[in-house]
Structure 1
Amino acid sequence: MYLHLGQNEIVPDHRIIGIFDLDKCSYEKRTREYLTRAEKDGVVLDVSGDLPKSFVVCDHPYHPQIVYLSQLNTSTLKNRAESEKLVL
């Protein structure tokens, strides 16, 4: 199955490590450090097209991890992921 993150970005669900609320998580120092480091490493992809509300951390075959910034909130992404699994 796949999860649509917004814009034209779709990722395989088996690659998803976590879906995080950007507003809630950005208060934590370690999260800010993680996102800053990911940005410096060039593994952050902004697929929001607008103000991002969440970020999705994914496993990647060529990098340790890829971080997608999405304009969708975490509950929307969660609902999409769950509805895709129900289709089976």
Structure 2
Amino acid sequence: MYLHIGQNEILPDRRVIGIFDLDKCSYGKRTREYLAAAEKEGVVLDVSGEIPKSFVVCDHPYHRQIVYLSQLNSTTLQKRAESGNLE
């Protein structure tokens, strides 16, 4: 099954490690450090096309992890992941 995270980006659901609300999580020091380190490593992909509302952490065969920034709300992504909905 796959998860559509916006802007024609579809991820295999088996690769998804976590879905996070960017507003709520960005207050935490460790989350800010994690995102800054991922950005420095070049493994953050902004697929939002606008202001991102959430981020999805995925494992990847060539990198330890990939972080996707999405314009979709984390609740919407979570519901899609649980239902297997591609839309």
Separation in 2, partners of 1:84, 1:44: 24
Separation in 1, partners of 2:17, 2:11: 11
Separation in 1, partners of 2:19, 2:84: 16
Report the more deviating stretch, 73-82 or 49-58: 73-82
> Structure 2 unaligned runs (5+)?
none
Q: Which has the larger radius of gyration?
A: 1
Letter in 2 for 1:84: G
User: 1:46 corresponds to which residue?
Assistant: 46
Would you tell me which structure has more helix in proportion to its own residues?
1
Superposed displacement of residue 51, structure 1: 0.4
Superposed displacement of residue 50, structure 1: 0.4
TM-score (norm 1): 0.94
Aligned residues: 85
User: 2:19 corresponds to which residue?
Assistant: 19
Matched-pair identity in %: 80
C-alpha distance after superposition, 1:27-60 (max 9, x if no partner): 0000000000000000000000000000000000
User: 2:4 corresponds to which residue?
Assistant: 4
> Structure 1 unaligned runs (5+)?
none
TM-score (norm 2): 0.95
